[in-house]
Amino acid sequence: MDLGRPPEARYLGEPGGQYLRNNEVSMEELEDAQELVGEFGADNRAGIEGTLHRISAIRNRKGFIVGLTCRVGRAVSGHIDMLYDLLHYGKSILFVGRPGVGKTTVLREIARVLSDEFQKRVVIIDTSNEIGGDGDIPHSAIGGSRRMQVPKPSLQHKVMIEAVENHMPQVIIVDEIGTEAEALACRSIAERGVMLIGTAHGEQLQNIIKNPTLSDLIGGIETVTLGDEEARARRSQKSILERKAPPTFYFLIEMRERDYWIAHQTEKSVDMLLRGRNPMVEVRRRDEEYKVVIERWKAYDGQGI
């Protein structure tokens, strides 16, 4: 909903949108909507109590709301069949993918499965109340997981550490890791033996490698100068890039589409990519009958496989 334009609905997987009426949205309608929704957070997001829906505001320079984006949140059972086997390892998993591909939906379902089926102590760091829904009572979609709300986005990393120090979790789930402080908090949590499930900005593993803010999630990257003999043995330049520490996340999942994922064993894939080679990965997808198909030992080229 944008001021001076007809309200428009957009549907997943369909190009463009559909106008819901011919009349333009007025300032009075936006004000009425704001009154019904209530106060927006520092990130200009709000929710509807008891639901998974999210409403985001666009403001003008004076701070007045001139547009609203209303996203319909859904709890989808069985959505994580494509990685259920990986959860048995008890290793940390990072999801990357473009907005709208379903990362938060996957986190929500993983929270339910780990808490209810695996009987783990799960704590969700719910910065925008998008995983567990708005209100003080979390949505039933997260099962028996506990949920910690965050006063404002800039404090997410502090709440992550607070969760570990105060509530003895076996698993921490966090959405939208995007700052250096949050990446460092993830490393601190992983070093304490807590399983991490998170999402980060980026579509592919290479985006994380090249992002100086987030590269610590996959071990960090540093420049190393080789001796003449070693450079000749490796058939490489004397200055090369190497991973400087163990990755925080053991697995990294590229969510190319809702039903087409690429699974990396992070350490091996990062090392191979830094050496200019194509790592071997798993392609996890659904076929025409919606059954999960896992294709192992596929050469990864960073594009289509």
**Mean pLDDT, residues 128-145 taken together:** 94
8 Å CB contact between 205 and 270? yes
Residue 42 has pLDDT above 90, yes or no: no
pTM over 0.85: yes
**What is residue 40's predicted lDDT score, i.e. its pLDDT?**
92
pLDDT in tens, 110-124: 999 999 999 999 999
Quick one: which of 290, 266, 166 has its CA closest to 214? 266
Residue 233 has pLDDT above 80, yes or no: no
**What is residue 227's predicted lDDT score, i.e. its pLDDT?**
75
Amino acid at 159: V
Rank 65-69, 228-232, 295-299 by mean pLDDT and report only the highest. Answer: 65-69
**What is residue 304's predicted lDDT score, i.e. its pLDDT?**
54
Collapse the DSSP code of 148 into the 3-class scheme (helix H, G, I; strand E, B; otherwise coil) and give the result: strand
| 81-299 has CATH 3.40.710.10 classification | no
Reported as a pLDDT band with limits 50, 70 and 90, residue 301 is confident
Report the helix count and the strand count for the chain, using DSSP H and E. 8, 16
- Reported as type and span, the H/E element at residue 55 is strand 54-59
Residue 32 has pLDDT above 60, yes or no: yes
Residue 12 has pLDDT above 90, yes or no: no
Amino acid at 57: A
**What is residue 89's predicted lDDT score, i.e. its pLDDT?**
97
Higher-pLDDT residue of 50 and 270 is: 270
**By percentage, how much of the chain surpasses pLDDT 90?**
80
Residue 176 has pLDDT above 90, yes or no: yes
Amino acid at 276: G
Q: Dmax of the chain from CA atoms?
A: 74
- Domain coordinates in residue numbering, the chain: 8-71, 81-299
Reported as a pLDDT band with limits 50, 70 and 90, residue 184 is very high
Reported as a pLDDT band with limits 50, 70 and 90, residue 85 is very high
**What is residue 303's predicted lDDT score, i.e. its pLDDT?**
65
pLDDT in tens, 195-219: 999 999 899 999 999 999 999 999 9
Which residues make Cβ contacts (< 8 Å) with residue 279, sequence separation at least 6?
264, 268, 269, 272, 273, 299, 300
**What is residue 305's predicted lDDT score, i.e. its pLDDT?**
60
**What is residue 196's predicted lDDT score, i.e. its pLDDT?**
98
CA–CA distances in Å: residue 163 to residues 105, 146, 156, 202, 253: 22, 10, 11, 26, 25
**What is residue 177's predicted lDDT score, i.e. its pLDDT?**
96
